[in-house]
Amino acid sequence: MKPYVIIPESEFNVMLEQTKLQLPVIQGRFGKILGTEFISEKAVGKSMLQITQIQKFEKHVMSWKFIFYCPNGKWILNTFNFDDNIRSFFE
């Protein structure tokens, strides 16, 4: 992600550390991490792209969505989020 973000490195590092702090709680609930899987790529026009991946655990799965924006020929990561609402994949 780091090569595509436009926020200052210090802010990115804070987000990264916050995510790392959540991992033990997530693993305690969902089990060991088994890997990741690419789910989809959806373009909206020529300037926006959403990539969806899942993170697989022993007992559950989490969704990761990354939204990229290309204002001038260079893709930047505009936003990302992760959650365990997997029902949205089937709607």
* CATH code at position 78: 3.10.450
pLDDT in tens, 17-37: 888 888 888 889 999 999 999
Q: Write down the pTM of the prediction.
A: 0.79
State which residues form the domain around 51. 2-90
C-alpha closest to that of 51 among 25, 22, 77, 86:
77
Q: What is the DSSP string of 32-45?
A: SEEEEEEEEEEEET
Number of independent structural domains in the chain: 1
| pLDDT mean across residues, the chain | 88
